[in-house]
Chain A
């Protein structure tokens, strides 16, 4: 891997309280002169797991792109605030916008390929990217949405069952809830109570992709065996109806966990964003 890395907890407050988000800006050894790429990881993951260990940061740097990574609240090296508001998707989007500006992102300008921002999301990160693109058309140039879903699986999460399970081991009846909680508990670095706060905040602000549709070109990518992204064509349809150019890429043999390392995914994204 090459390039300079600056890391640290982001401290520019947007809504009065410090979001304690861990941000890194990676500069390529040889800059292609294109706008930066913001990477948004999935639930219970982190920038390291989702983007560094999988080879994404290295591949983008190799392509000459400047890369911005951010650990979402309660994930990775970010803080785990106690108040639920810190986990609200709307609050996270506001913090992301501030992070982008602090990293030097400028509004899109015709004829200036270094203006604006490209956004790549995976799973829950794709939900945030979709909403971010829909609400920030002045800066978002293109979107790559990996493992996307038309409904947020976290919205159907059974919080009470999860809390009972954590308190005394009462088995969880709902399969999706049990699976998500198991995934969250796999990594000792996860703050399980922060992740439950995030789920609570997501339930309060459910994902409705039809409500605000991004108009910029988007590439939707999912593993052929990704059950969580089976609704990808519906998302593409929403985008096309709204006037976006929505391309789809299906990765043969891959599922929601292992689609992320796919070379075809990385190369597809790099090509799609190289304009």
Chain B
């Protein structure tokens, strides 16, 4: 199993922080992608954040009333090892298939 951490996403409009209103999932719970995770309030509005990931919730950050900055950890999921790459893939260690020609070939075209 692997753990994936998600930060509080950029909420647009230049907002840099949000206050947790209510968690809709709890630690240990299995959630689906797009399932509502948490309600947060910004200086402009209240929003419900859907889950970017399916998996088991390992940890949530912030209790109701706590402020979280954009980019700070919000939630950690546990996912099977072979699906961890959905978020960021590590390039395989093999020879590149394409080459970039660094010098111009003057006699073509």
Chain A residues, Cβ within 8 Å of B48 = 53-55, 261
> Which residues of A from 226 to 275 have beta carbons under 8 Å from B?
257-258, 260-263
Is A261 in contact with B50, judged by CB distance below 8 angstroms?
A: no
Q: In the complex, are the beta carbons of A262 and B39 less than 8 A apart?
A: yes
Residues from chain A with Cβ under 8 Å of B34 in the complex? 1, 58
The prevalent SS among residues of A at the interface is loop
The reply on A187 being an interface residue by CB < 8 A is: yes
In the bound assembly, the distance between CA atoms of A54 and B48 in angstroms comes to 5
**A54 nearest in chain B by CB position:** B48
- B45 beta carbon closer than 8 Å to chain A: yes
Choose among B24, B41, B50 the residue that contacts A258 (Cβ–Cβ < 8 A).
B41
Most buried by A among B13, B22, B50: B22
Please give, as numbers and ranges, the residues of chain B lying within 8 Å of A263 by CB-CB distance.
Answer: 22, 24, 36, 39
Interface residues contributed by chain B, number (CB under 8 Å): 15
| Cβ–Cβ contact B44 & A261, under 8 A | no
Q: Is A188 a contact partner of B46 (Cβ separation < 8 A)?
A: no
* Contact-residue size bin, chain A (C-beta under 8 Å from the other chain): 10 to 19
The residues of A that contact B21 with a CB separation of less than 8 Å are 258, 261-262
Q: Which single residue of chain B is at the shortest CB-CB distance from A50?
A: B45
Is the beta-carbon distance between A261 and B13 smaller than 8 angstroms?
no
Contact (Cβ within 8 A) A257 B45: yes
Contacts of A49 in B (CB 8 A): 45
Instruction: Write out, one digit per residue, whether chain B residues 25-52 have a CB within 8 A of any chain A CB (1) or not (0).
Output: 0000000001010010101111110100
Q: Would you call A167 an interface residue if the criterion is a C-beta within 8 Å of the partner chain's C-beta atoms?
A: no
Q: Is B36 within 8 A of A58, CB to CB?
A: yes
Instruction: Say if the beta carbon of A160 comes within 8 Å of chain B.
Output: no
Known interface pairs A261-B39, A262-B39. Does A186 touch B44 (Cβ–Cβ under 8 Å)?
yes
Smallest CB separation, A67 vs chain B (Å): 15
Task: Contacts A53-B47, A258-B21 given; indicate if A187 touches B13 (C-beta within 8 A).
Answer: yes
Query: Which residues from A are CB-within-8-Å of B41?
Result: 257-258, 261
A187 touches B44 (CB 8 A): yes
| Interface-central residue, B24, B41, B43, by most chain A CB under 10 Å | B41
Q: How far is the CA of A45 from the CA of B21 in the complex (A)?
A: 20
For the complex, give the distance between the alpha carbons of A187 and B24 in Å. Answer: 27
Beta-carbon contacts under 8 Å, A22-57 to B: 45, 49, 53-55
Contact B44 A54 (CB under 8 A): no
Shortest distance from the beta carbon of A63 to any chain B beta carbon, whole Å: 13
List 5 A-B pairs, Cβ < 8 Å.
Answer: A45-B45, A49-B45, A55-B50, A258-B21, A260-B46
Please report B residues at the A interface, Cβ cutoff 8 Å: 13, 21-22, 24, 34, 36, 39, 41, 43-48, 50
Closest A-B pairs by Cβ, 3 of them: A55-B48, A258-B46, A261-B39
